[in-house]
Structure 1
Amino acid sequence: MLPVKITKMSGAGNTFAFVDGRGASGWKDVEKHLGKSRTEIAKLVCDRVLGIATDGFIVIEDPSEGFDFNWDFYNSDGSTAEMCGNAARCAARYCYEHIGNKEHANIRFKTGAGLVTAQILGNGKIRVKMPEARVLKNPIELETRSSVKEKFILVNTGVPHLVQKIHAFVDSVNLKDLAREMRAHESLKPAGANVTFYAEDEAGKVRAVTFERGVEDYTLACGTGAVAAALASSLENHLKVIEVQMPGGVMEVNFFDGDPKPLLVGDAVFVGDFQYNLEVVR
């Protein structure tokens, strides 16, 4: 049963480890043999030293009725998340090229946030129809431990995000401690929220970075964070197409009148296939 084949992928620098967990793959026998929960396995696989250094771990499973695949998603700390836009793009290409039917370029996933559909565009580009993007509170004012009041927009783009516009993107370097504090603010318990900062370069183009729950740091990219930044910018500028530059790459977000579910377009890249021995599990 060992080693386990794990595929590492990158979506704009956001990295994920994929396992084929369908019934025919034998993955469930591996899990039984290891005697570890998926939370524990996810932490090992994502580890920077004993794993393959990824931001997340995803098990692709046999579909429920009406879907092509189910997925079970874990952050690098073993926590779960309802949705991840970059993971959805990577999952779509993984399933299309590794375990799916290449005659069908449209893939329907069952996720914690419900149905997510993806379309293979070619040249490594994937278009994902994201969950409904909703403004939960605008503005929301949160007080820091030093009694400073910070204003954000609280949105949900599949997962909750606190979004704040900043004067210049370089300012985000000095805002990491604020993001870490706000991510687990008393007003947002128990789940907390990701924290996304964005700055406008010009109309329709923004730079953004997200402090993600479960990773507990800035990541190179965050699909739901890109949508969150684009939503905030769209509300201010009344634009329907927003280009979002994150540290790991560029994504495009499209909003449509009458449809609360935006489209997210970006890359999905195969990094490599690994034969992971899991000898660290004892």
Structure 2
Amino acid sequence: QILSVRPSPAPGIDFEYVIHNADGGEVEQCGNGARCFVRYVREHGLTTKDALRVQTLSGVIEPRLGADGRVTVNMGAPVFDLARVPFDAAGLRPQAAGSWQKWPLALDGDAQEAIKYVAILSMGNPHAVQLVDDAETAPVLELGPLIEHHARFPNRVNAGFMQVLGRSRVALRVYERGAGETLACGTGACAAVVAGIRLGLLDARVDVQTRGGDLTIEWAGIEAAVLMTGPASMVFEGEIEIADNP
């Protein structure tokens, strides 16, 4: 992804940042990007604040740099209204689970074995989370593209594959919209934990194990904001020359 740092667009906002995925598309939100954003603006002297208010395409987020170098981001409250995700549920019958429900997605015709049940929500961007027995062996590369481009998601969707390891720990892989499988997805971790809590499987504070490292996600329940905490570190620095459009 490319994150563009822009000046404050309004009073009470410190910065704006714009997110583009590998396919060139602009997206609404990026949890991992938010943590990197804070480290970048601090280390480049663009601010001396530890807590920021940052405008994204999906709204304002509030990242905070901790004394231990980890960054906590207030990601806002999850969205469950299917029309706002957006997801077309016309003609579908959900499967009740916990205090919530999962929705059937037919991935290859109407054969039962091709129907996957997913929890659907938005963390500023759309997510479909399914439970798997083993995240490492889950068919992420096979099913991820089918879910991402499913016709019931008009804006496409991020596909999460979550293995519950206990009430306070999960393993997660995410096939991201416009990027494919990534080492970690911050909003995907938030969406997975929220889904797990609503399905009755997880407690309010959960460590999420990804291939890129661990994140801690906290959610107190309906209408509460999701808090994501994790590291951000400099990997390399360089310059790129972008030609003007003709």
Q: TM tier, shorter chain? A: 0.7 to 0.9
1:197–1:210 CA contact under 8 A, matched in 2: yes
Q: CA deviation at 1:76?
A: 1.3
**What are the equivalent positions in structure 2 for 1:120-135 lying under 5 Å apart?**
120-135=65-80
Gaps of at least 5 residues in structure 1 are 1-55
SS in 2 for 1:233: helix
User: Residues 227-277 of structure 1: CA distance to partner in whole angstroms, max 9, x if unpaired?
Assistant: 011112212235110110111010000112564211000011111221334
1:175 to 135, 140, 144: 140
SS in 2 for 1:131: coil
Give the aligned residue type for 1:188: F
2:15 to 65, 69, 76: 69
Whole-Å separation in 1 of the counterparts to 2:227 and 2:170: 17
SS in 1 for 2:60: strand
Whole-Å separation in 2 of the counterparts to 1:150 and 1:237: 18
In the TM superposition, structure 1's runs of 4+ consecutive aligned residues that sit over 3 Å from their partners are 277-282
Q: Look up the match of 2:196.
A: 233
Whole-Å separation in 2 of the counterparts to 1:254 and 1:92: 20
Which of the two has greater strand per residue? Answer: 1
User: Residues 112-168 of structure 1: CA distance to partner in whole angstroms, max 9, x if unpaired?
Assistant: 110100100034310000032133463211111243221101111111100001111
Whole-Å separation in 2 of the counterparts to 1:224 and 1:179: 16
User: Residues 197-248 of structure 1: CA distance to partner in whole angstroms, max 9, x if unpaired?
Assistant: 0001122100001100111x21000000000111122122351101101110
Whole-Å separation in 2 of the counterparts to 1:258 and 1:154: 15
**What are the equivalent positions in structure 2 for 1:24-173 lying under 5 Å apart?**
56-65=1-10, 66-102=12-48, 104-136=49-81, 138-147=101-110, 148-172=114-138
Give the aligned residue type for 1:193: V
Whole-Å separation in 1 of the counterparts to 2:214 and 2:226: 16
Gaps of at least 5 residues in structure 2 are 83-100
Whether 1:268 aligns to 2:232 is yes
Which of the two has greater helix per residue? Answer: 1
2:167–2:202 CA contact under 8 A, matched in 1: no
RMSD: 1.9
Whole-Å separation in 1 of the counterparts to 2:143 and 2:34: 28
Whether 1:209 aligns to 2:173 is yes
Q: Tell me which of the two structures has the higher relative contact order, counting C-alpha pairs closer than 8 angstroms and 6 or more residues apart.
A: 1
Q: CA deviation at 1:281?
A: 8.8
**What are the equivalent positions in structure 2 for 1:195-206 lying under 5 Å apart?**
195-206=159-170
The TM-score normalised by the length of structure 1 is 0.74
1:234–1:242 CA contact under 8 A, matched in 2: no
1:127–1:266 CA contact under 8 A, matched in 2: yes
